[in-house]
Each structure stands twice: as structure tokens, then as C-alpha cells.
A and B are shown apart, each in its own frame.
Chain A
């Protein structure tokens, strides 16, 4: 029965979106950017499904288990604050993209600064730091498929199957099919998570009862600082501000700024994007918090499996199979967007400029497809041996991407005179980030904040010297 649900769901979600898409794409804009013609609902759901991934389903539930309700607020309000960056840079990116025909993030950086090396650096950093995030989707899918089939499909086999399926799907469809899938996927994801909370809480005697039980077992899960004083005021500040800088720098999300039909659609999507996390971030965190009632004492990477464990214990086999298959499809809808974005970026920003080649659209798509396969295989290899928990792998990837925010900000909103400072800013902040990650710099140098805050500030500080008229403060409002 589980296999029937799995195959039917995946077929319904993915193959349906391919119908009518295959032969339509004849230009880079249609294949990579769905003709810059997405309305509010499609745009919002493609942003949502692209962004809420394994990190949302498994990572949020795992952190809810590990830290408590504080994690919900940080993720929900932090994500809502990120919608401000849709206005800070998203609007500018849309305007410049439409005017100058940019397709990748680095094309905008190069186009506005005329510095090829800066474009190369920007694109390379985006690709390198998206790889761990990409592998997270495969890891999450692998965990769930293994759980769902009671180990009949082993983790390595699950990883291989999911990677192959996604490759086939992305290679055939392009952005238009990805966006169509995201719409269905986003709607189903919200519905399933709501139902999962409903059924699990019903089994536990209602939401109030479940909360009371958990509070009696582990009251720290209800503290504003979380369990083991995890979120100090400095950490609260760090995480609330973090998403503003990192979410728009996900390459797949940056490219979503280009594809809005007009600015009103982008605005409506930003407002919806601010609202929805208020509701949906709560679902996995609640399930994670309640996990202590049935599965006390989980440690390390086991924590990431609290959601499937709770589902299998409290709901029918068929329902857990549907939710978990939905989660797998959610991972794949993030994975497909990442693969498409990365292959496009590598082709247009790195390979073609370095080889000084000019090729036809057909050749470009063919090259992009080969790169989809290569990046998917790299992600798969990383997934065989995850180097950290889902949340911490995500944090590392996101920190590297957030360092690029000042570059995008200054390039889109200021007149740039000295691009060398943009490059120095990126490289120095990355070096500091890596030193912190490998404990080569002591934690006290971050003054109690998360190290990525120091790196982002450093990046802003150095890159500010690239701006023309340094001392004149300009009004930067809504222009």
C-alpha cells in the first residue's frame, strides 16, 4: 500500500506538470524564468515551496525537539522579516532584470559593475554554498523513504532513487514545470502539516493537554531562551536578522525575483510570504516539542527523525505514508529549483565566459542538463555521509550565502566606484566564517552573537568602501 501511495503521489505531483511544457521553451527566458510571467499565487507558492524544504519538515521538528517553542518564533518572525528584503533588493532586482534581460544573479552583478571577476566570484560562492543545502534535500528524502518503507529501501538506495528521479524531471521540464509543481506542492504541504498536527494532538488528548504533558516533562521547552539556555538575547538578535540577509541570496530564490509578472505581484507575494510562516512554522515545531512525550532522550542525528517517528506512532499507516511522501515531494521541489538555478549559473556565469564561447539556446539547455546531472551527483555523494545535523549543515550553507547580501545591496542600490572592495569584502568574510566554523577562531570574538553576524557586518563594512560619494548619505527609500 505504501508503495502505491508513493508512486501515485509522485506521479501526480511531477508528471502532471510536464504535460504541455516539453515543447514550449524555445528561449532562455522561457526555460529558465518561465517568461517572467508569474502571477501572485504561482510566484508565492514557488517561493514558498522552494524555501520550505527538508529544513522545514525535519529541521524545524528536530529543533523543536531539541530547543522548544523559541525555535518557532525565531523561524516565523525571522522569515517574516526577510520579506522586507524582498522590498530592499527584490524590487530593484526585478526592475534591472526586466530592463537588461538578466537571468542569473551574477549577470546582474556583472552587468551593473562591468567587473567579470566579481561576477565569477559571486556565482562561485553561491554555487559552493548551495551544495550543502542541496544535499540536505537528498538527505531528508533518504531518511524519510527509509522510515516509510521500514528499511526495505535502505538509506543509500533511497538517496540514489530520489536523485535519479529528480534529474529526469528537471532535465525534461525546466522552470515552467518546476513552478507548476511548486504550486501543487506548496498547497499540499500546508494541508498535510495541518492534518498531521490535528491527528497527533487528537491522539495526545488535544493541543492544551499535549503542551501540559510536555511542560511537566521538560519545562525548559517553553522558555524564551529554549532548552539549555540555547537562545540568549544575542542569539535571538542573530537569528532574527539572519534570514533577512540569507533568504534572498538563495540562488533559486534570487532568480524568483526576476520571474514576477509585475511589481504588484512581487509585493503581494512578499506580503503572503510574511504571513504564511506565522502559521506553518508552528506545525513541525509543535510535533517536535511533543516528541518528548513518546521519544525521550533522542540525541544527535536521531533528532532529525522525530517527525516521521511521531507520525508513524500516532497516525494510520496510510496517512503517515501520504504526509511523508508529501515531504519527499517537497524536498524534490526544492532540489529541482536548486539544480536548475545552479546549472544555469554555472553555464552562463562561469563556463561560457571562461571559455569565451557563444552558443545557441539549444546547446545552452543541453549543457545545463549535463550540469544538472553533475550537481545532483555531487549532492548525492555529500548525502551519503552528512557532515553535520540537518539544521547545522543548513546554517553553514546559509551563512556563506548571507555574506553575498551586501554585494547585491550595494550593486542594486548604490553607484559603485571601486569593485575591488566588493571582492575583498566577500573573500575576507568567507575566510572569517570558515575559521569560526572549524573553531580556529575562539567563540568569544563573536561577543555572544552567532559568528555569521560578525561575518555579515564585516562584509557590509568592507564593501561600503566600494560606494561612490562615500561620505554623502543618500536617501535610499523605495526608489
Chain B
């Protein structure tokens, strides 16, 4: 299942949109001690980093034989 999801660009996209919508609906409204930012902002920053890591992993060997 997971392989199917990240075997497609649309899969990655929908996964992250779903994650974002989940945070939007369920995140609490408190603040964290890091610069007194809202908690949900930190969740999004983590999601952002996960997205980049995922893109890096799935594209590692993508284009070596394409040119």
C-alpha cells in the first residue's frame, strides 16, 4: 500500500494534503516554548521536513538513466 502511494506523484501529494487537513482540523491552539509559536505551526514544520525527506528518498535514483 505504502509503496503504491509513493509510487505516484499524486499519491505523495494526496498524502500530504490529507496530513495537512488532519492538522488543520485536530491541532490544538496552545503555544510551545520555541519562540512562543503556536503548536500547530510546529506540526506543519515537521510535516514540511517529512515531505522533503520523502521527495529526496523517492527521487534518489530516478534520473540516472533518463538522459
Contacts and interface: CB of A to CB of B under 8 A. Distances in A.
By secondary structure, the B interface counts as helix
B19 to A, nearest CB: 10
Interface stretch (A68-76, A103-111, A370-378, A398-406): A68-76
A241 B40 CA distance: 19
A275 B52 contact: yes
A263 B24 contact: no
Given A81-B51, A263-B67, 8 more contacts: A84-B12, A207-B36, A222-B38, A223-B29, A240-B17, A263-B66, A476-B10, A477-B8
Interface of A: 69, 72-73, 76-77, 80-81, 83-84, 87-88, 91, 95, 207-208, 211-212, 215, 222-224, 233, 236-237, 240-241, 244, 262-264, 266-267, 270-271, 274-275, 278, 476-478
Given A87-B9, A267-B59, A278-B49, A81 B16 contact: yes
A478 B37 CA distance: 38
Contacts of A240: 17, 20
A237 B17 CA distance: 7
A77 B47 contact: yes
A258 to B, nearest CB: 14
Sorted nearest first, the 9 A-B pairs with minimum C-beta distance are A263-B63, A211-B36, A207-B35, A73-B44, A208-B36, A222-B38, A236-B24, A88-B9, A224-B40
B31 A224 contact: no
B1 interface: no
B25 to A, nearest CB: 6
B16 to A, nearest CB: 6
Interface in B22-47: 23-25, 27, 29, 31, 33, 35-38, 40-41, 44-45, 47
Contact of B21 (A80, A88, A233): A233
A81 to B, nearest CB: 6
24 contacts: A73-B41, A76-B44, A77-B51, A84-B9, A88-B10, A91-B63, A208-B36, A211-B31, A215-B31, A224-B27, A224-B29, A233-B21, A236-B24, A237-B17, A263-B62, A264-B64, A270-B55, A270-B59, A271-B52, A274-B51, A278-B52, A476-B8, A477-B7, A478-B7
A76 B20 CA distance: 12
B29 to A, nearest CB: 6
Nearest to A206: B35
A260 to B, nearest CB: 10
Contact of A244 (B13, B41, B44): B13
A241 B66 CA distance: 28
Contacts of A207: 35-36
Contact of B45 (A208, A264, A278): A278
Given A224-B40, A263-B67, A278-B45, A84 B55 contact: yes
By secondary structure, the A interface counts as helix
A477 B47 CA distance: 23
Given A274-B52, A278-B48, A477-B8, A87 B31 contact: no
A476 to B, nearest CB: 7
Nearest to B47: A77
Nearest to A221: B38
Contacts of B16: 77, 81
B59 A87 contact: yes
Contacts of B37: 69, 211
Contacts of B35: 207-208, 211
Nearest to B34: A208
A224 B38 contact: yes
Contacts of B40: 73, 224
A292 to B, nearest CB: 15
B18 to A, nearest CB: 10
A271 B55 contact: yes
Given A212-B36, A271-B56, A262 B67 contact: yes
Contact of B62 (A80, A84, A211, A478): A478
Contacts of B48: 76-77, 80, 278
A420 B32 CA distance: 54
Nearest to B28: A224
A293 to B, nearest CB: 14
Given A233-B25, A237-B21, A477-B9, A215 B36 contact: yes
Contact of A83 (B7, B29, B44, B55): B55
B66 A81 contact: no
